[in-house]
Copies of this chain bind each other. A is one copy, B any other.
């Protein structure tokens, strides 16, 4: 199994897929070139509301990957998306609204076909919502539930939950500027753990990603990751850390 699960497409004030494109290229460098792209999280792309947003999203991805020697087909343009999954060399799931992504993947009957294809060795690349959907459940998204999916079940390719775009509490100065009483990300994830105490959460900060190959998980990118478990002190691990699928460290990259 070969997965690249990326926190975010775009760092603050950088271009789309700017920071992570070299990582994706490296991940795919020895792979065959036919990408199947899942645009279902993109419901308002470049001023194009759903469903035209799918066309805009697919064009954007083609514009990035075709010059690199890949071909890109989008599931929404396939006559039979399940057939397209079975024929693809690479599966790529873009970010956007996670609820809409789950809704469409279930409605198209893609959970089992994708899961089987990835288990058979086809590389999977997902960012943001596309990383979340590789997890057991939808439950650790930051997105707004603009539609109700038939199920919160994801592709279940890893046994833990990723929180993409993980963000630390704001500084006192920022809070004094905002003056907002809403929950922090920590409070939200503690709520998740209070009702799902058996599941580990990987808080994947922006500009970081999990490179998963042969049951080894390596933290890539520029930022530490925060591992959260119910009733335990969170653990901070640095870039280069290697884990097993239970998010147990296999090297000494923990610094907190």
> In the assembly, what is the distance between CA of A133 and CA of B11, in Å?
35
Which of A23-31, A67-75, A191-199 participates in binding chain B?
Answer: A191-199
Q: Are B182 and A178 in contact (CB under 8 A)?
A: no
Known: A10-B181, A167-B180, A177-B173. A194 touches B43 (CB 8 A): yes
Of all chain B residues, which has the CB nearest A12? Answer: B179
Known: A167-B182, A173-B177, A177-B171. A144 touches B140 (CB 8 A): yes
A1-24, CB < 8 A from B: 8-14
Of residues A11, A14, A49, which shows the largest number of chain B Cβ atoms within 10 Å of its Cβ?
A49
Q: How far is the CB of A247 from chain B (nearest CB, A)?
A: 19
Q: How far is the CB of A19 from chain B (nearest CB, A)?
A: 9
Q: Are B142 and A43 in contact (CB under 8 A)?
A: no
A141 at the A/B interface (Cβ < 8 Å)?
Answer: yes
Per-residue CB contact flags for chain A residues 36-50 toward chain B (1 = under 8 Å, else 0) read: 000000011000011
Q: Which residues of A contact B (CB under 8 A)?
A: 8-14, 43-44, 49-50, 53, 96-97, 99-100, 138-148, 151-152, 165, 167, 170-171, 173-175, 177-183, 187-197, 206, 230-231
